[in-house]
Amino acid sequence: MRAIRNAIFTSAASLLAISGVQAADLPVKAKAIEYVRVCSLYGAGFFYIPGTDTCIKLGGYLRVDTTFNGGAHGAPAWNGDIGQQNRYRDYFVSRSRMALTVDTRTATEYGVVRTFGQGDFQFTTLGGSSRNPNSLATNLGNNPQLLDTAGGGYVAVEYLFIQFAGFTFGKSASAYATPWQGFPGNLNSSLLGGQNTDTGVNNIQYTAEFGNGVSGSIGLDDPTVWDRTSLFNLSTGLNAVGTTGNAYGGVHSPDIVGRIRIDQAWGLFQISGAAHLVNGSYNTLTAASAAPNALSEISGHPEDKWGGSVMAALQIKNLPTGAGDDIKVDVSYAKGHTKNVIATSGASPSFAMFGGSSVAYQSIGFGATTDGVYLPGAGGTGGIELTEAYGVRGAFNHNWDPYWSSSLFGSYSAVRYNGATGDLTTAKGAYCAAYVASNPGLKSADFSCNPDFNVSQLGVVTRWTPVKNLTFSAEVQWFHLDQKFTGTSVLGAAAPKPATVYEFKDQNTYLLQVRAQRNF
């Protein structure tokens, strides 16, 4: 009996010990897990940043472009080695880019506070089809694509801005711009004829919504990068293709811009305006380069001069040709603000193209893109003479079915220097006097100087989207330079061209651009 009692006590003690161990091992109550929540306030793709009331969206694209007989991203062969068609030119140029975007939004009593940023990780053919040793291979310090080497590449910054209570601060599209910028239907970033700030300009702007789709915006744009072409001091001389160093002074004023826009179910209508200050550096500058020298500061300078531009834009939707089809067009005029007509996603080009000739070694066509010119001294212009420019561009966009679409696009632009040849007080007269003096080679009896020029573009692009957000595209483009010089002349063209007789003649070029792009 005693043995049974001992066994029972031992078993009970064991059970109590086990229960104590189990009680000590009971888990402590865990903190609630904070799951990521979908934010439906601002459209698809947004979610709440955990622990905050801020919504965020991550996105972007990966894009691969190749251009045949042109520059990166569909630039025509309108200058440089590809304009000369020499043996340094690249027959094709490629660029690979991954764009990453971060969009955050927070609802406040003042409205939505938004921040947006886009960075582009990209790699481009070194030199962008300009490999002349005189300008690139042996002069890497002046190479704008220095990092496009094996294992290298760039991080480029596009938009970086804050929006609050109607204001926008930072690097964003100008208040002057249309929603489609320089892309009414084209792939390439070189469709001229109007304004383009598609990768953003440092600015401050305010937008007011008046209701019924009517809005107005005003802004101050930093013109340093985007809104200036060139200003020529003609006393420095002009080279064989009619250009010289840039004689702009430092930035003295922001561009003052604004627009009125009407957005409706049928489309969009917009009127934009801009004021731009053109200011020269000095009257005496180093020949050709327009660099300052020891006499510059005491030589004086031309008085600053205000120029500007206007643009009207129209989009028509709901076309009878098919669902989603539309027409986009904008028309521009500028005086002293040529960047708002001869605009690309980079710097405004001047044109220098060579071709065949039956009366000379080769033919040449060129056009200098400037905001103005001045010729210091007695008999000169007496100040800055502003360049005039106007242009039109547009596209018809058609969807064949959910997988195939095409766009037909084109543009026409003109640059004008006022006055008459022989009158040094005008832009045209001063320009031609400088050109003839700088290029004294023998000229034909029918030679005439006229710096005015027109450029035309026409192209078509077709896209195939086999699955959502994956698109393959091919674009063909024709570019025409209508220059106004006549006759022939002995010119010292840039190497490797010889100094010999050239015929002044209009020029044409074609390109093919292909693209694969995946949006995410």
Segments making up each domain of the chain, as ranges: 35-519
Per residue in 459-481, is it b (16+ CB within 10 Å) or e — as a string? Answer: bbbebeeeeeeebebebebebbb
pTM, two decimals, is 0.90
DSSP code for 198: T
Cis amide linkage into residue 466, ω under 30° from 0: no
Strands 499-504 and 267-278: unpaired
Structure tokens, 301: 């300078």
Place of tokens 């922001």: 254
Half-sphere exposure of 38 toward its Cβ, with a 13 Å CA cutoff?
4
pLDDT at 19: 46
pLDDT at 344: 95
User: Would you say 406 and 432 are in contact if contact means Cβ atoms under 8 Å apart?
Assistant: no
pLDDT at 230: 98
pLDDT averaged over consecutive 10-residue blocks of the chain (520 residues)? 47 45 51 78 95 96 97 94 93 96 96 97 80 53 69 91 97 98 97 96 98 98 95 98 98 98 98 98 97 98 98 97 97 98 95 98 98 95 96 98 98 98 97 98 98 98 98 98 98 96 98 98
Q: Report d(CA 400, CA 398) in Å as an integer.
A: 6
Q: Report d(CA 177, CA 199) in Å as an integer.
A: 12
DSSP code for 75: B
Instruction: Please name the CATH architecture into which domain 35-519 falls.
Output: Beta Barrel (2.40)
Q: Report d(CA 151, CA 176) in Å as an integer.
A: 39
Q: Quick one: which H or E segment has residue 489? A: strand 488-492
Beta bridge partners of 278: 305
Q: Kindly give, in sequence order, each residue whose CB lies less than 8 Å from that of residue 466, ignoring residues fewer than 6 positions away.
A: 403, 472
User: Would you say 105 and 46 are in contact if contact means Cβ atoms under 8 Å apart?
Assistant: yes
Beta bridge partners of 500: 491
pLDDT at 428: 98
Q: Report d(CA 252, CA 335) in Å as an integer.
A: 18
